[in-house]
Amino acid sequence: MSSLQMFPTTVQRYLKLPQYVEETVYGTTPNSAAFIDMSVINSLKTTYANATEMYRKLGRRTMYKYMKMGTDLTFTTSFSPVDTSLIRYGTENGNATGTLTGSIDKGLSIANSRYSNTWGSNGPLIETFFIRKGCKCDSLTLTTTSRGMVVVDMDWIASTIVQSQSANGGLTTPVWVSAPTTLTPWSNLAGGCGNKLTIGGVNYPFKSCSFTVNNNLDAVDVDGCDAIQWLEPTAKEVTFTCELLVQKDSGIETAIDAGTSLTASLVLNATGPKTATFTELFFNNKTEDEDAGETNVKTATYSGNATDVTVTA
C-alpha cells in the first residue's frame, strides 16, 4: 500500500500548453481573452520569492518575528522558435506613449494548466491553472550554432501568479488555443548557407553566434502593496558574440583597431526572411586560442556591444 496521500503528476499531464495574451491594463487578464499559442516552449522554470524581514529585539537570542515585505515572481522560458512573435516582446522598443503592441511596452498574461491534485485526496486528478499576470521580458538571449538548433532563452518578471482549480482558472470567457502549432522549430539550417551573418557588408562563415538584450526592467514596488505595480524598461543593453573562421584580412580587425562601429545582421529564417538587425555594432574583444594538439580549423571569437537590435516581425 502506498504511503502517498495524493496522486503525483508530471509535465506530461499538461492540459493547456503555454499560451499568452496582451494586457490592456497592466497585470489584468482581459475578459474574453483570445490566447496565442506559445507551445514550442520546452523548458519553463518559475521562482516564487518573498522579500522578508527577520525582526529581532533586545534581550532575545532567537528571532522575534519573521515578516513578509512583498512578493518577487520570476520565470524563465527556453524554446526553439517557429516565428518571431514572442521574441519581439524582448527585443522591440516601445513608443513614446508606452502603448506599442508586440513590444516591451505590453504586459502579458501567460497561462497553462496541468492535471494535479491536493494533499490527502485519492483523486481523480483535477485541472489546475497557472496564470502569470503582468509579465515582461527582462532579458533575452538568442543563440544559433552549426549542427544545432536556434535557441531562445527569455527571463521574465511577473506581478502576480494565480494558481486555481476553478473553471478557466477564474478568467471570464477566455478563448483558449484549441490547436497548438505543428510547425517545425528552427534549426541552424533555417537561416540558409553562406550569407547568414553579415558584418560591415561582408558575409562571414561562422560556428556560432549569439546576442543578448537586457531591458533592465525596474520592478516598481509601492509602499503598502504586496505585488509589484508596474514594470518599466530602463537602459537597454545589447551584447553580441560570434565565433568566425579565421581569415587573412577582416574588416572587424580594422574596426577594433579604429574603435569604429559596423552594421550587422543575422538571418534566423530565410523564409520571410526573419532577421536580427544590429545598429552600430562595436567590437571590443577578440579571443583566439592555439594549441599544438588542435584538430579543428582555426576560429576566433569576437564580442562587443550594439546600440540597438530589432527582429523582423
pTM of the model: 0.94
Per-chain mean pLDDT for the chain: 95
User: Residue 117: what pLDDT?
Assistant: 81
- b/e 261-291 (16+ beta carbons within 10 angstroms → b): bbebbbbbbeeeebbbbbeebebeeeeeeee
| CB-side neighbour CA atoms (13 Å) of 296 | 11
Domain range summary for the chain, segments of one domain joined by +: 11-311
pLDDT in tens, 166-200: 999 999 999 999 999 999 999 999 999 989 999 99
pLDDT at 120 over 70: no
With vertex at residue 213, the alpha carbon angle to CA 209 and CA 218, rounded to the nearest 5 degrees, is 160
* Average pLDDT of span 120-147: 92
- Of the pLDDT bands very low, low, confident and very high (cuts 50, 70, 90), residue 300 is very high
The residue with greater pLDDT, 294 or 182, is 182
- Region 45-58: what's the mean pLDDT? 96
Question: Cell numbers at residue 140, please?
Answer: 533575452
CB of 51 within 8 A of CB of 70? yes
Report, as an integer, the average pLDDT of 108-132. Answer: 88
| pLDDT computed for residue 201 by the predictor | 95
pLDDT confidence bin for 22, thresholds 50/70/90: very high
pLDDT at position 266 is 98
**pLDDT tens track for 233-275:** 999 999 999 999 998 778 999 999 999 999 999 999 999 999 9
For residue 284 the three cell numbers come to 571590443
pLDDT-derived band at 60, boundaries 50, 70, 90: very high
Position 119 confidence tier, pLDDT thresholds 50, 70, 90: confident
Q: What is the pLDDT of residue 1?
A: 58
